[in-house]
């Protein structure tokens, strides 16, 4: 998180170099970043659930779902999260919230239909491990920070397009001013890419940790292994998933199949470790 804040300050410094608005921009950017992070902290679960079109899962309709979560929460010493359903045939699941006391767990109808009991238990244990390890908070703040950096960089390019950068460079003396302006441009170009790479690094490490923690919770690695193998074979995508929420799901919910639109970009900016690698690591356990 400190790295994201430093990156935001770097982007705003590039603003100051390009437009000459003074150090007040750095203070404003820091305040904006903190306010957005605060908002994400308290509203992350509601935003993610609404974006995914999740609805509350009643015990009467989804008894197996509730019973498995009850047992895992008792075994792991966790408070039971709120349970939700996403009406979608693609098998997938995600957890969200700011801490174990304010967590929510959502699964698709496809996951409930295609997984047997031990496979479903493995997936639910993985997601509950995200809650126990506070991954849900880290991921949410990372998404917010990436959004802040992208917004600032986009704003900088728009202002340069309107002529602010040229006016600034005209007021900056000689070659030194030109070099500083080039530095500012490079910073504005690279900052969103660096932010995304940082987000991916966080997401991938936390997925591997949740796999390991999940099988420790169930004491049965073959359950999660079998579930991941089914997810690997299934090519359906979650219709309500977006790039902003992709890292929350147990596997990438975006289309990565050859020949499909955006598939190449989705594979390039993958938020999860390859399923083959995750299965291999679990088999070694």
Separation of alpha carbons 32 and 41, rounded Å: 14
Separation of alpha carbons 13 and 185, rounded Å: 11
Q: How far is CA 188 from CA 1, 10, 29, 164, 283, in A?
A: 20, 9, 14, 14, 43
Asked if residue 234 lies in contact with residue 114, where contact means CB atoms within 8 angstroms, the answer is yes
From the list 18, 34, 47, the residue with the least C-alpha distance to 159 is 18
Burial (CB count within 10 angstroms: exposed 0-12, middle 13-18, buried 19+), residue 170: exposed
Burial (CB count within 10 angstroms: exposed 0-12, middle 13-18, buried 19+), residue 142: buried
**127 among known catalytic residues:** yes
β-pairing, 82-86 with 54-56?
antiparallel
Q: How far is CA 47 from CA 39, 42, 50, in A?
A: 10, 10, 5
Q: How far is CA 202 from CA 35, 143, 183, 205, 273, in A?
A: 22, 11, 27, 6, 11
Tokens of 190: 């690279």
From the candidates 119, 121, 127, 256, which is the catalytic residue?
Answer: 127
Separation of alpha carbons 15 and 160, rounded Å: 10
Tell me the residue length of the chain.
285
> Radius of gyration over alpha carbons of the chain, in Å?
22
Q: Which residues are designated catalytic?
A: 127
């Amino acid at each position: 998180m400190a790295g994201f804040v430093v990156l935001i300050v770097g982007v705003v410094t590039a603003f100051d170099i390009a437009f000459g608005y003074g150090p007040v921009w750095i203070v404003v950017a820091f305040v904006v970043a903190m306010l957005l992070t605060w908002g994400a902290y308290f509203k992350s679960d509601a935003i993610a659930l609404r974006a995914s079109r999740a609805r509350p899962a009643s015990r009467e309709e989804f008894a197996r779902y509730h019973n498995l979560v009850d047992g895992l929460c008792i075994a792991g010493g966790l408070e039971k999260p709120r349970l939700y359903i996403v009406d979608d045939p693609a098998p997938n699941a995600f957890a969200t919230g700011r801490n174990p006391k304010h967590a929510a767990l959502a699964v698709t109808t496809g996951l409930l239909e295609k997984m047997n009991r031990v496979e479903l238990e493995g997936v639910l244990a993985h997601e509950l491990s995200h809650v126990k390890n506070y991954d849900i908070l880290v991921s949410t703040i990372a998404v917010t920070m990436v959004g802040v950096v992208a917004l600032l960089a986009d704003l900088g390019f728009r202002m340069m397009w309107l002529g602010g950068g040229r006016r600034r460079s005209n007021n900056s003396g000689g070659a030194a001013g030109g070099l500083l302006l080039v530095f500012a441009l490079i910073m504005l170009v690279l900052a969103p890419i660096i932010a995304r790479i940082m987000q991916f690094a966080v997401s991938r490490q936390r997925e591997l940790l949740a796999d390991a923690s999940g099988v420790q919770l169930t004491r049965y690695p073959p359950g999660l292994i079998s579930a991941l193998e089914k997810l690997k074979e299934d090519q359906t995508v979650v219709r309500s998933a977006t790039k902003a929420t992709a890292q929350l799901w147990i596997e990438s919910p975006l289309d990565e199949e050859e020949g499909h639109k955006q598939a190449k970009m989705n594979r390039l900016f993958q938020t999860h470790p390859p399923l083959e690698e995750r299965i291999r690591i679990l088999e070694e356990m």
